[in-house]
Structure 1
């Protein structure tokens, strides 16, 4: 590795963060403690599942702490106190944070010698907040990227240390863009740690102009509002793949839409203009233009191309979708 090895604490939860942890370990840094969210029920059996970060940490034999909160005066003071003791004992040079999911109180921010570095999935100050990848696609941005930020007490308001852009492709889903940004985040945090080890990091305050907030995705946003333009809905479908999945209602069922494109068409919003299982798909009128639905999923089923979907679900021209 370039530069001296650091004692790097790590706080993160999903796959986006796990890739960064793996990159830090591959670069030769010592990771004496990993913080991640408590195990959550998942899957058909709703069994407790460890986070992606916990799985990575255990594979490498790293100590793991899973406090419910880090607030010493909150609902779980004993867990927070145990986490503080573990962090103090780890004697960290720096704490790297990536999609952790818990607010870091001031005592955490002040503990490591070099502070706390955050891997954020946007080019700050655009898309501060919980869902920067989703919102960038939904808004039709041409590019996004990764920012390595020195954390402070605000919501993604700290000084910028490193950044790198990533183009958003016309067919990008959140899943696809997430994977590229996770790789980029791992590379960039390793570069930042190498600079930090030799005192070469340079902080730049975020500009006041251009601040936007990427609010957390609400499941209620999944329902397609046919009065919106087809272009907006096509972006939203890509932004909500894999979660929560854009959808419409039909005959008491909620049908998810995984692929669609904007096409020419005119009619009452939500009305089916034409159906072609072998070509254009199900064409649905929108507030402006129309949407060609080409990959769908019924409840309890799997994603299907429109040809297969129509074999079990007869949708015809003139039908009004909810």
Structure 2
């Protein structure tokens, strides 16, 4: 099919690669403008842009799709379908109406649960047992369109946002290729019950509060790995926690109950958390054993209650 593809991060790049491998004609790729990144803060292309340029596809990076010039750029390639994955710009109705078979969105949740920007992290934070991918026919509302195909996967007890992202990126790529092969498909409207919204993750949310139950603190560690990293504070110094596990021990919230080669056990509002992998500011990730060799974290001392 003749497609326009719109996406920005690696999640979308996986779908773009799959569509190319399946033999679709991608006439135009839309992605966010280059952003400053890295230590030098130089402008960096998105993963989708890099993938498109490597495949010799024309790339279009508008700041908005609301002006007529941008819309005509899409209209000129006469797409049958526009495939959208984590693009980052709102598609106005004028754009939704351009492709003959509409615009399909690859969404990383089981709609209507977790509509919005951060469905993977929100599912882990909420303790959901499963997540998945929906291929949705786009309409003007936020992820409100009818669903053409969906597939669920379990969220494992050790899954992080990073591992779930990679599973869903692969699943979404396969699912959109299969959906395009079956078009036209009768889509099913989303149910009115069970709607939740996945608000964008703010860095302030990653600050660990030891007064919460250990199970909730542990989910925050997994949900904010790899970004922005769960943040603890000891004597005013920041430490990121990358891996932890709950233990059936009770102690004062924030108090270090054990510190040895097995990890650093910290009291929580209910039960305790064993910290297994940490990172001091400006340093590299270390096992708890390695960190203890150079950091005075001893039994009886305390992490700050909230980072």
| TM-score, length of structure 1 as denominator length | 0.93
Counterpart-to-counterpart distance in 2, 1:221 and 1:32: 40
1:119-158 equivalence runs, <5 A: 119-158=106-145
Deviation per residue, 1:218-275 (Å, 9 max, x gap): 1000100111100011111001000111011123321000000110222221111111
Unpaired runs of at least 5, structure 1: 1-5, 73-80
Aligned to 2:214: 230
Aligned runs of 1:213-252 on 2, under 5 Å?
Answer: 213-252=197-236
SS in 2 for 1:224: coil
The answer on 1:253 being equivalent to 2:237 is yes
Report how far residue 316 of structure 1 moved.
Answer: 0.8
Residue by residue over 1:186-222, the C-alpha shift from the partner in whole angstroms, topping out at 9 and shown as x without a partner, is: 00000111112xx3x1110000111111111010001
Q: Deviations over 1:70-121 (max 9, x none)?
A: 122xxxxxxxx43222101111001000000111111111111111000000
* 2:43 matched residue in structure 1: 48
State the match for 2:173 in structure 1: 186
Q: Determine the structure 1 residue equivalent to 2:275.
A: 293
Structure-to-structure mapping, 1:2-13, within 5 angstroms? 6-13=1-8
Instruction: Give the Cα–Cα distance (whole angstroms) in 2 for the partners of residues 235 and 215 of structure 1.
Output: 17
> How far apart in 2 are the matches of 1:265 and 1:215?
33
Cα distance in structure 2, aligned partners of 1:111 and 1:298: 50
CA distance in 2, matches of 1:192, 1:159: 14
Instruction: Tell me which of 43, 49, 63 is aligned to 2:58.
Output: 63
**Which is worse superposed, 182-191 or 267-276?**
267-276
Runs of 5+ in structure 2 lacking a partner? none
CA distance in 2, matches of 1:309, 1:86: 54
2:11 & 2:44 partners in 1: Cα distance? Answer: 17
Dislocated runs of 4+, deviation >3 Å: none
> Cα distance, 1:314 vs. partner?
1.5
Q: Alpha-carbon deviations, 1:114-160, whole Å to 9, x = none?
A: 11000000111111111111111111111110000000010100000
Instruction: Name the Cα RMSD after superposition.
Output: 0.9
Picking from 289, 295, 307, the partner of 1:313 is 295
List aligned pairs for 1:30-109, cutoff 5 A: 30-72=25-67, 81-109=68-96
Deviation at 1:26, TM superposition (A): 0.6
2:153 aligns to what? 166
- Does residue 302 in structure 1 map to residue 289 in structure 2? no
- Work out the CA distance in 1 between the residues paired with 2:52 and 2:69: 19
Query: Is 2:64–2:70's contact at 8 Å kept on the other side of the alignment?
Result: no
TM-score when normalising by structure 2: 0.97
